[in-house]
Amino acid sequence: MEKIRVEHLDFYYGNYRALSDVSIAIEEREITALIGPSGCGKSTFLRCLNRMNDTIRGTRVNGKVLLDGQDIYHRNTKVVELRKRVGMVFQRPNPFPQSIFSNVAFGPRVLGLMNRRDLASIVEESLRGAALWDEVKDRLNEDALSLALGQQQRLCIARTIAVKPEVILMDEPCSALDPIATLQIEELMQSLKTKYTIVIVTHNMQQAARVSDFTGFFWMGKLVEADVTDSVFTRPQKKLTEDYITGRAG
Amino acid sequence: MSRYRMQRLGFALLTLISLVVVAPILAVIGIILVEGMGAISWEFITAMPFDGMKQGGIFPALVGTLLLTLGTAVVAIPIGVGGTIYLAEYARDTLVTRCIRLAIVNLAGIPSIVYGLFGLGMFVLFLRMGTSILAGALTLAIMTLPVIISTAEESLRSVPTEFRTVSASLGGTRWQGIRYIILPQALPGIITGIILGLLRAAGETAPILFTVAAFFLPRLPQSPFDPTMALPYHLYVISTQVPGMPIHIQHGTALVLLALVLSMNLFATIIRSYFRRRRQW
Ligand SMILES: Nc1ncnc2c1ncn2[C@@H]1O[C@H](COP(=O)(O)OP(=O)(O)OP(=O)(O)O)[C@@H](O)[C@H]1O
Ligand SMILES: [Mg+2]
């Protein structure tokens, strides 16, 4: 099943065209990796999928992004609703400077869930889902910033899934983490993919090859190649892709 | 000279300078404490003045200052904090908002006597409030607003943008992000600004001179439309306008004003550390 379909997407920061004519289909409950050199537009593309670019002034979008067939850039789309369905995990672990519990409970609370018992069960479920529960179950009221970075990032993932999204966007979620924490996140992604559609931006080619089912290669605002991960890494169709993944370009 | 000695000399110099800064403050507090302590009694604080203010207490002035500060807080806090949230979190950078910012910065630099004259013209005369607590509190509030707004804006801006982004990415509205994530982090700073502003209001004489303060009025105000005595003005009066005033009464009055201001300061510090510890929902 196709979860997201992007058709002829152009994106502008003022007059600067950061994405041109990007079309890609993203499968449900798969991990799609986006790779490419710095500044090629991966983050920009990712933010187009939950309209986080809306908050940046002077930006403009052409083309369509269909989520379950509905164009998210249609003027009837409620952006707040969209972001509940398409969650996001950022590059730097960024828990709120509050307790572990409050961090995970934030999403459900803004949705209007106030009952302490329901909240507690969502928090537990989300922390389990993010493979963090056993490490923090006895210290839910401690400051989230007292956690190690890798734990903080998993807390951010828990915070995201507490909203029960359908899609999770991850922008280089491991780039601030050590190898062990990175491995934990990668394992976590494998378990998350049974429930969620995941799109991950990564600079780490091995990571893309290890975790993803489908890979898109961006170059200077264009999607050069997008295919099943195995094919991209073993039989790339374009010379540019081959040069990049073998380290000759970028 | 060796680097080592250089450093020792530097330290000595800096210590000396900080002593120079602190010494006058300590001297003022010390003198007022020593000279004024004798005047302080339960009666001094709770009795009406009589015999040309040479006897009795300062009760109406104390109550007047408390009421004025309260009135200032009631007017200035909602407008100041609300306006700041708008300016810092919602308003775009347009000519209008720039003018507003410029006005606030300039307002902060206006001498307090000008506020007093403005209050006289605007509230007392034009709006026909008369010399009253209402007119005085409004005047003090206007004087306090720039302090509240500039510190509050500073503390809102010091909260990383990232948290606003994260809140939005979780489906929170702009207001929910502000209410539950941004404000709790900015609150200690905002409270500091509020207290600083109110402290200034409580201690000022010029703005209340024409708008509310009574020379001698040995009874408590009955409504916001009554004038009242106030501590700073009372201190001025008994120090300069009443011949033969016993000096310990002057020092005693100064001591009460000082204690009031310092205890508000202490209160602010306590609230601040309380909110620092408890940045929860
Ligand atoms: N807020 C912005 N305003 C203007 N230009 C921007 C903005 N954000 C990104 N850009 C530009 O758009 C282009 C794509 O940026 P983007 O962040 O999407 O790249 P990226 O592929 O994620 O890079 P990286 O791997 O370094 O994160 C870059 O040239 C960048 O300078
Ligand atoms: Mg990026």
Tokens of A41: 């537009």
Sheet with A222-228, edge to edge strand ranges: A86-89, A167-171, A197-201, A31-35, A214-219, A222-228
The phi, psi pair for A63, rounded to 5°, reads 95, -170
Angle between helices B59-85 and B133-157 (to 10 degrees): 40
> Do the domain assignments include residue A25?
yes
Looking up tokens 């009574």 gives B214
Best probe residue, ligand 1, of A22, A35, A40 (max atoms within 8 Å of C-beta): A40
Give the closest ligand to the alpha carbon of residue A58.
1
Q: What is the CATH number of domain B42-278?
A: 1.10.3720.10
The phi, psi pair for A18, rounded to 5°, reads -90, -25
> Do the domain assignments include residue A96?
yes
Q: What is the pLDDT along chain B (281 residues), one digit of tens a residue?
A: 788 899 999 999 999 999 999 999 999 999 999 998 888 889 898 889 888 888 888 999 999 999 999 999 999 999 999 999 999 999 988 999 999 999 998 998 899 999 999 999 999 999 999 999 999 999 999 999 999 999 999 999 999 999 999 999 999 999 999 999 999 999 988 998 999 899 999 999 999 999 998 888 888 999 999 999 999 999 999 998 888 888 888 999 999 999 998 888 888 888 878 876 655 44
Question: Is A13's C-beta closer than 6 angstroms to any atom of ligand 1?
Answer: yes
CB B227 within 8 A of CB B214: yes
CB B171 within 8 A of CB A110: yes
C-alpha to C-alpha distance for A54 and A46, rounded to whole angstroms: 12
- Nearest CA, atom 9, ligand 1: A44
B56 by Cβ neighbours in 10 Å (0-12 / 13-18 / 19+) ranks as middle
Could you give the C-alpha distances from B84 to A228, B95, B187, B218, in angstroms and in order? 51, 17, 12, 40
> Do the domain assignments include residue A250?
no
- Interchain pair B172, A110: CB under 8 A: yes
Give A183-223 pLDDT, tens digit per residue: 999 999 999 999 999 999 999 999 999 999 999 999 999 99
Domain boundaries, chain B: 42-278
> Do the domain assignments include residue A197?
yes
Report how far ligand 1's centroid is from the alpha carbon of A39 (Å): 5
Give A44-103 pLDDT, tens digit per residue: 999 999 999 998 889 999 999 999 999 999 999 999 999 999 999 999 999 999 999 999
How many C-alpha atoms does B113 have within 13 Å on its Cβ side?
0
A230: CATH: 3.40.50.300
Report how far ligand 2's centroid is from the alpha carbon of A171 (Å): 7
Q: Which residues neighbour ligand 2 (ion) by CB within 5 Å?
A: A 43
- Using the 8-state DSSP alphabet, how is residue A76 labeled? T
Q: How many structural domains are present in chain A?
A: 1
The phi, psi pair for A97, rounded to 5°, reads -75, 60
Q: What is the interface pTM, i.e. ipTM, of the complex?
A: 0.91
User: Domain range for residue A68?
Assistant: 2-245
Best probe residue, ligand 1, of A44, A172, A202 (max atoms within 8 Å of C-beta): A44
Given the DSSP bridges, would you call strands A197-201 and A31-35 parallel, antiparallel or unpaired?
Answer: parallel
